[in-house]
Amino acid sequence: MRAGTQARRHAGTKGHPLPHSALYVLGVLCALCVSAVTGLADDRVINSKHDLSRFGPGPARAVDENEVCIFCHTPHNASPEAPLWNRHSPTSYYRIYRSRTLQARVTQPGPASKLCLSCHDGSIALGLTLDRPLTDPIPMTQTYMPIGSDLTSDLSDDHPIGFRYDRTLANRDHELRSPQLVDHRLPLGARGELECTACHDPHNNELGNFLRITEREGVLCTTCHQLDGWRLSAHALSPMTVPLTVTAGQQLPYRSMADNACRACHVPHSAPRREHLLYQRPSELCITCHDGQITPVINQRSGHRINRLFEQTRPPEQRLHVSRFVECTDCHNPHAVAKNVFEGPLNFAARGPLVPPALEQVPGVTIAGVPIERSVFYYEVCFRCHSDRPVPIRKRTPRQQDDFGNIRRQFLPTAASAHPVAFPARGTNEVPSLRPELRTRRFISCQDCHNNPDAVDGGLLAEGPHGSRYDHLLVARYETRDYTIETSQAYDLCYRCHDRTSLLNDESFPLHRRHVVRGRVSCSACHTAHGVSGDSTRHGHLINFDVSIVGGQRQYLDTGRFSGSCTLTCHGVQHVNFVYGK
């Protein structure tokens, strides 16, 4: 054993004197710690979790060692890795963090992080210091780092470290601030590396967990992470308590979701779900909090169902086709989602085609078919799945002019006719049946027709196309079967906008009553729901025949206002240039 080591050990345990030079250096090294015994214990090492002396507060502490700083620092025979460093450097090869959305190039932890990992990876005994022989470590109540603080050599469930945080990275990832704008209290390494010491100050535990900046309201996280829409989001402002079922029983530092902010969903160390450092997969987090509003809806007859066993393997911005299952993050950005304001039965009248607050900052596809990072219009969110690469939807009505599920094409400005979803109505005077309160509306929203019927008109369940007791996620009943008896319930969806009395009085098409009431022909037999491409004289007024009902040549010609002709076969009756008019 080295002479200096032996002398120090005796001074700490048996009262034997140290040389004057050693006493001087050690005294300077520990001065701040010793001076903080009274009144300032929280912002110094003494009485913090890093106090491993026999007077330390934690379960791991020395049996008979009085000194505090000696577990990391020594006046003699120190390692050059840090000032007067007294610990062995770990030799572990670490499993590093990986994510499909990670832009940084993460490597092995840098020198500053390895100082922390010399205790926290659990590979080196707490009492094994450089000033003592390997065979004679400081006796401890626990040999290695206690469970909970032991990060192990698997860092894939911890916030990534060991990468350069520079402007190049910030330019690649729009959700990161430029390092020049980051608070100066978060120091980077000499070459701009992000290490453990960026967030943690090992000598100051005033804020808990040795943090340099408070976690409250997400201040620490948003110092680096630039999340558009976060400050005004529903989650950032929520006074609700985060259920323990979300955090798997882990107690959060604050009471409300607004105060916990990022910590309500994310875990910086030892995260149960590694990617994005979450307590659970994203949709499970959403459902656990919103269980009373969401679960009764998504299990209905039709809906955007969530696979509770398997998660989508691609990030939201790369999901551009219909899938049997979805994730909540396909349509909602949890960092920007805001609360919808109820505005009446057709609750998007005021916003027109713009995205509602619940869909803020969500990727989409434009009417031209171009993917974008931030949707501006509601239909752009829908087009991510229901446009150019759709999977055939069950119970799809076979049409004369069939776009095979590509709804984007049905709403193009070149469409022969379409509901005013992507472009304003071409003239409400051409639709006498339109209800008076809707004549001033230039647009309708996808959600006007696709919605949870139990949510509208002040219902307590979640609004939006989560689920419906009707096919195709419809907000109301819409019969498409042939020989349907006409009632206000059978075509409730149509009658929400179109006046039933006007239609059955033949104020637009002079044969509506004959077809719908006497012939029991469904609206869907002649009209398509979204829009139809082609010649406006052949497909005006959303005319696009259901080929399972209408046979023959299937030709409609618009010959003017409220007049036209049909050549087709329906219910065994053949029409050849059958002319009608008012």
Euclidean distance between the first and the last CA atom of the chain, given in angstroms as a whole number:
112
Euclidean distance between CA atoms 174 and 468, whole angstroms: 36
Q: What is the mean pLDDT of the chain?
A: 87
The tens digit of pLDDT for each residue in 33-61 reads 343 333 344 578 999 999 999 999 999 99
Per-residue confidence (pLDDT) for residue 439, from 0 to 100: 87
Query: Span 192-219, mean pLDDT?
Result: 96
Q: Name the DSSP letter for residue 541.
A: G
The residue among 11 and 51 whose pLDDT is bigger is: 51
Per-residue confidence (pLDDT) for residue 293, from 0 to 100: 84
Torsion of CA 349, 351, 353, 356, to 10 degrees: -110
The tens digit of pLDDT for each residue in 388-431 reads 876 556 677 888 888 887 899 999 999 999 999 999 987 767 78
Per-residue confidence (pLDDT) for residue 349, from 0 to 100: 52
Per-residue confidence (pLDDT) for residue 344, from 0 to 100: 45
| H or E element at residue 163 | strand 163-164
pLDDT(483) > 70: yes
SS3 460: coil
Percent with pLDDT over 90 in the chain: 68
For residue 100, name the pLDDT band (cuts at 50, 70, 90): confident
Number of CB atoms found within 10 A of residue 389's CB: 13
pLDDT(467) > 60: yes
pTM: 0.84
* Residue tagged 């010399």 (tokens): 118
Report the length, in residues, of the chain.
582
For residue 200, list its beta bridge partners.
Answer: 211
The tens digit of pLDDT for each residue in 241-267 reads 999 989 988 899 999 999 999 999 999
The tens digit of pLDDT for each residue in 55-92 reads 999 999 999 999 999 999 999 989 999 999 999 999 99
Weakest mean pLDDT among 347-351, 445-449, 552-556? 347-351
pLDDT(3) > 60: no
Euclidean distance between CA atoms 170 and 99, whole angstroms: 17
The tens digit of pLDDT for each residue in 332-365 reads 999 999 987 644 444 445 566 889 899 999 999 9
The tens digit of pLDDT for each residue in 267-300 reads 999 999 999 999 999 899 999 988 888 888 888 8
Per-residue confidence (pLDDT) for residue 463, from 0 to 100: 85
Q: What does residue 225 show for φ and ψ, rounded to 5 degrees?
A: -90, 120
Per-residue confidence (pLDDT) for residue 396, from 0 to 100: 78
